[in-house]
Structure 1
Amino acid sequence: MIDAPSGLRIDDPAGFAATVSGPCKPVVLRGLCRRWPVVEAGAGGWAALSDYLARLDAGRAGQAFVGAPAIAGRYDYGDGPDGFNFERASLTLAQVLDRIGQAAADPSLPSVYMGSLPADDFAPRFADENPIDILPPLARPRLWVGNASRIACHYDSFDNLACVVAGRRRFTLYPPDAIGDLYVGPIDHTLAGQPISLAAGAAPDDPRYPRFAAAADRAIVVELEPGDALYLPKLWWHQVEALDPANLLVNYWWDAFAAGPDAPYVTMMLAMIAIAERPAAEREAWRAFFDHYVFRPGGHPLAHMPAERHGLLGPLADGNYGRIRAIAMKMLRGG
């Protein structure tokens, strides 16, 4: 993981895709959003930032995490009635900003965290006042606001640009292929939608997670100041720590290389029910076919034939996306 090269200029989504997204590696973009009005408001303190955002507040309620001081902002699994160590509350943006300010001034109060708020719904003028020109128009801002916190190590199935507005943020990153050493929890009982690493949040040398040492040796840690941004490719694991008493981050999710509406994660879920519990030898056979047709380590599966004879294996943009999708949908319907 590297800072963007000094002097790098990115003027549009195509340039961002070519220079930043294309290598599929995390990149820090120092000062990317330092001229945003919301960042400038945050430089004046939490009260000034709250006034700025309250002016944009649409009055819509969202779900907030509320944690006792004893958890120190570490929202995680626990002994609560729903299996977590925090409670949930329905708050507007203005209400959560006020609660965060109170808890920042008085550590004996519960901490508050509200994440993944679509700015278009909760603060409709935010995107117009704080524009970003290097992402596709469909990449829309989301707000993550709270007291000092540590969000459990997880991944996103979309590309992610995280922009720090107020407070410092520390990201601890692990590559996608570290998944086997991270001891991932269930996929259907999660804190906020994505499975988390149980080992990354445990005490050092926890005997339950002996393989985690291999992942820890590969960890990349980066700290961001207000105005900085981090590009995270999809499937990179990340633990996020908000280091100051009151913090705001804005992020954008999008799929930088989608050929159509179908997501790779959906394919993986279908493969789980179709392949995961077959005999080991058969799974190995399917692995060979997936490598040949999908992952293609040896190149195109019909490289030995003229391009005009590639049929469905020709470029997706030439109509093969729709053809393959129609065949798959017919199969799923039992046709």
Structure 2
Amino acid sequence: MPPSPVPEIDARQPVDLAALTAAGQPMVLRGLVADWPTCHAAAQSPEALSTHLRSFANQQQAELFTADAAGGRYFYGEDLAGFNFTRIPATVESALDAILARVEEPALGSAYMGSLPIAAYLPGFSAANPQNLLPPGVDSRLWIGTASRIACHYDAVDNLACVVAGRRRFTLYPPEAISDLYIGPIDHTLAGQPISLATPDTGRHPRFARAQAKALTADLAPGDALYLPKLWWHQVEAETPFNMMVNYWWDAHAIGPDAPMLSMLLAMIAIAERPQAERDAFRAFFEHYVFRAEGHPLAHLPEEQRGILRQIDRAAYGRIRATIMRELRGS
């Protein structure tokens, strides 16, 4: 059975961002950035888009990723030792030269520049290509290159991915599919987040079929965007010879500076190796106080008697955080 498509809406009509993020489900936003000058330049030709981007680019050094693999599959090397791609220093302009050369001559392999902070490397781009859906101050990043296939991974924050040039296919798996995706090491990664090692080989990865049964796909054309909630796994394929995407990462529901993933990492070293009986006991406490399937943990008390848990606003957040920091410092 083929994957189901991600639901979509016409983003040329008003979009309720609060409702979108509260739902916690992926959504294709058709035409969200179709009016960008950058999209108009991309519609002319790769060279026109390159000229447009050069008008914003400075000479700061970044990194260009190159690979010889067919289709630009960026992955580990043999036995997870090293990687099948290289990183080379490049400015935006020299990266564009290298990418366009490979568009003209595919035998040169693939190249892409990814996760490039736009404000630092293309000042003025965001003002010329405004994005009014997200709160002010959310930074944008550039992804540009030849055809490529990026391994299945997750983002620890919410993601709005906007296609400018070429076509991209996102294959998505919900967070609960993690145990069926055969995740690689968390401290030896391609670009920060652990990735799925799963293949359709039922002998090596028999549980992957269960993840595939939950898969969704989103096919994006220039001007389209995908809202991707945090912790959703996604493989990204840039399907055409020349591709560009701009994305925005932000935490739609943060009330303080601490990332939820830090809590999980601390729990891993504090709980994960304890006996099964202890892990089960702590699971019950986490379910009660954190995940709250039965509602507020002190719902049986009047609000004024719930103490610091009455409402975890910024003041309560700060007091709890200060307690944690004192304990971690051993003071």
Q: TM-score range by the shorter chain?
A: over 0.9
Structure 2 Cα separation of the partners of residues 8 and 26 of structure 1:
18
- What SS is found at the alignment partner of 2:44? coil
Q: Which residue of 2 aligns with 1:289?
A: 285
Instruction: Indicate yes or no: 2:256 matched with 1:260.
Output: yes
Counterpart residue type for residue 22 of structure 2: G
Structure 2 Cα separation of the partners of residues 241 and 259 of structure 1:
34
Q: Which residue of 2 aligns with 1:275?
A: 271
Counterpart residue type for residue 103 of structure 1: R
Counterpart residue type for residue 43 of structure 2: A
Q: Which residue of 2 aligns with 1:38?
A: 38
Task: Please give the residue correspondences for 1:80-99 in structure 2 after superposition, counting only pairs within 5 Å.
Answer: 83-99=82-98
Structure 2 Cα separation of the partners of residues 57 and 80 of structure 1:
39
Counterpart residue type for residue 284 of structure 1: D
Aligned partners of 1:138 and 1:254 also within 8 Å: no
Task: Please give the residue correspondences for 1:1-335 in structure 2 after superposition, counting only pairs within 5 Å.
Answer: 1-4=6-9, 8-10=13-15, 15-16=16-17, 18-68=18-68, 70-79=69-78, 83-199=82-198, 202=199, 204-317=200-313, 319-335=315-331
Number of residue pairs the alignment of both structures matches: 326
The 3 A distance-change label for structure 1 pair 183 and 49 is same
Runs of 5+ in structure 1 lacking a partner? none
Structure 2 Cα separation of the partners of residues 334 and 6 of structure 1:
51
Displacement of 1:205: 2.7
The 3 A distance-change label for structure 1 pair 33 and 5 is closer
Structure 2 Cα separation of the partners of residues 274 and 84 of structure 1:
32
Displacement of 1:72: 2.5
Aligned partners of 1:167 and 1:226 also within 8 Å: yes
Structure 2 Cα separation of the partners of residues 7 and 117 of structure 1:
27
In the superposition, the TM-score normalised over structure 2's length comes to 0.95
Structure 1 Cα separation of the partners of residues 10 and 57 of structure 2:
37
Aligned partners of 2:160 and 2:247 also within 8 Å: yes
The 3 A distance-change label for structure 1 pair 318 and 66 is closer
The 3 A distance-change label for structure 1 pair 5 and 296 is farther
Aligned partners of 2:10 and 2:31 also within 8 Å: no
C-alpha deviations, 1:216-270, integer Å up to 9, x for none? 1111011000000000000000000001001000000000000100110111110
The 3 A distance-change label for structure 1 pair 81 and 309 is closer
Deviating more after overlay: 210-219 vs 56-65: 56-65
Counterpart residue type for residue 247 of structure 1: N
Deviating more after overlay: 18-27 vs 231-240: 18-27
Structure 2 Cα separation of the partners of residues 7 and 104 of structure 1:
32
Deviating more after overlay: 169-178 vs 130-139: 130-139
- What SS is found at the alignment partner of 1:151? strand
Displacement of 1:81: 11
Displacement of 1:82: 6.0
Displacement of 1:106: 0.8
Displacement of 1:133: 1.0
- What SS is found at the alignment partner of 2:23? coil
Identity %: 56
Runs of 5+ in structure 2 lacking a partner? 1-5
Displacement of 1:19: 2.2
In the superposition, the TM-score normalised over structure 1's length comes to 0.94
